[in-house]
Structure 1
Amino acid sequence: MTHPQPERPSTVYERVGGHDTFVTLVHEFYRGVAQDPPLRALYPEEDLGPAEVRFRMFLEQYWGGPTTYSEQRGHPRLRMRHMPFRVTPTQRDRWLHHMNAALDTVSDRMDSLDEQQMRAYMAHAAQAMVNVLED
């Protein structure tokens, strides 16, 4: 007699551990940003806490979690929201370095396909934010 397999969660958000994973991911990312003065300069708020909450809510929504980001802030419009900041290829690389390090801290919660998908999205999103080519 075969037993039915438990249903695989349908969203990346659920599969990687939900809210707790995204809290850890974004916290670790901003821990890196805080220790990187050239990248930290892109964050005008004295306290990174509000940026951390906004980014976590965005990522949770993007990966299939709660829609709190849109409910509170409207459409993400990422490129428009980042236009006031000078985002160079070097800044992109610094950002991606800290994001990949943060993903390393939660990768044990993910299967390889979800991890690859998240890393590819982060690389694509980082590239899309570049708005100044010279450093």
Structure 2
Amino acid sequence: MSVYEEVGGAPTFERLVHAFYEGVAGDPELRALYPEEDLAPAERRLRMFLEQYFGGPTAYSQERGHPRLRMRHAPYPVTLDMRDRWMRHMLAALDTLDLPEAHAELMRDYFLRAAHMLVNTDEGHPPHPGPSLTG
């Protein structure tokens, strides 16, 4: 069984990503990186990506092609502060799921590695007013 299946499949990832974007919505600095009026499209893209990454449906790649995370995030200034804000909200969302510790640790590890890999800008660079980070 995949991690996707072991943690409860689609409903778990829906709850995770929805809780994450509730945090983003209340964080003005991080929210500025998502210029779309409605966070729903970014929420959907991140949910599909995470479901695929953790062994679920491949809807993300079928719809959007290879994830290419670094390339997709390159136009946006991802600072250490933005990484830390993203992690704070993702870890808080993960904590709402009450997953077995082995699964939670595996997901935390992935989120930390991915978030760190995407840092591409020194502090002080203003947010880019472009499409959302998961676009």
TM-score, normalised on structure 2? 0.89
1:86 and 2:94 are equivalent in the alignment: no
Of 26, 40, 56, the match for 2:31: 40
1:129 and 2:118 are equivalent in the alignment: yes
Of 103, 119, 134, the match for 1:114: 103
Aligned CA RMSD, in angstroms, stands at 0.7
Counterparts of 1:134 and 1:37, CA distance in 2: 17
Alignment of 1:43-62 (within 5 A): 43-62=34-53
1:67 shift after superposition: 0.3
- Structure 1 counterpart of 2:119, one-letter code: V
Query: Residue in 2 aligned with 1:29?
Result: 20
Larger C-alpha radius of gyration, 1 or 2?
Answer: 1
Counterparts of 2:73 and 2:36, CA distance in 1: 14
Query: Residue in 2 aligned with 1:4?
Result: none
Counterparts of 1:15 and 1:36, CA distance in 2: 31
Say which SS state the counterpart of residue 96 (structure 2) adopts: helix
More helix by share: 1
Counterparts of 2:42 and 2:101, CA distance in 1: 28
Q: Deviations over 1:90-121 (max 9, x none)?
A: 01000000000000111x2x221111000010
TM-score, normalised on structure 1? 0.89
1:97 and 2:88 are equivalent in the alignment: yes
Q: Which has the higher contact order (CA 8 A, sep 6+)?
A: 2
1:134 shift after superposition: 2.3
- Structure 2 counterpart of 1:69, one-letter code: Y
Segments of 5+ residues of structure 1 without an aligned counterpart are: 1-9
Percent of aligned positions with the same letter in both sequences?
63
1:133 shift after superposition: 2.2
